[in-house]
Structure 1
Amino acid sequence: MWLFGRAPVLALSPAGLWIRTRPTRGQAVWLPWEAIAQISRRRWLFEKMLVVKPYDPRILPKAGFYTALDSAALSALHGSGLVATLNFADKSEAEILAAVAHFSANRCHLT
């Protein structure tokens, strides 16, 4: 459990977002809003996830071999390897979804 650090999983700004790419490391990827095709809320068992799907799926292999390996399982479950938990965040699910809608300003599809 100590491998799951306290590094942020998701950070939003008017220009785009940072999302962690590996669950066991602090590695993250920057995506401008224009590079994001869709952001959706998914549920897998008891876990609620925010799934970010970029227009170019080749962005994750550029992040390294282990990141691509980790994201392959997430892609099979959620359709994208870029996911952030909504259950264990420091803000409520409603606050996170409102912030995504606010900062994205209709530049990507939200479902």
Structure 2
Amino acid sequence: MADISVTVEDDDPSRADEDVRLLLAELQGLQAEARFAAGPPPPEGSKGVDPATVTTIVVALSSSRVLVQLGLALRDFVNRDRNRKLVVKDGKRSLEITGKVTPEQQKAVEDFFRRELD
């Protein structure tokens, strides 16, 4: 199975940082390896990376069951705050999940993860 990347997008860097850390903690409960993606290199002369710029999580999937759980977890995470926005990528395709998930978005999420199983 492939790695799936999940990016938290928000105009407020501190809220994005808080949400990505919360999401990572929630994904740790899945039977998958979830970790922060490597961020951009730090600016020259700096002592490190600004944590607010690390808003992408990479999830290494081990089975189709975990893939389904990931889709449900992301949907539930977004549903808890109408201001949340996630961009999910599998390298070739991407899916944006925002705010309260509508029936159309739910179908798009299901189709995205179903195609990942094929």
TM-score normalised according to structure 2 size = 0.29
The structure in which a higher percent of residues are strand is 1
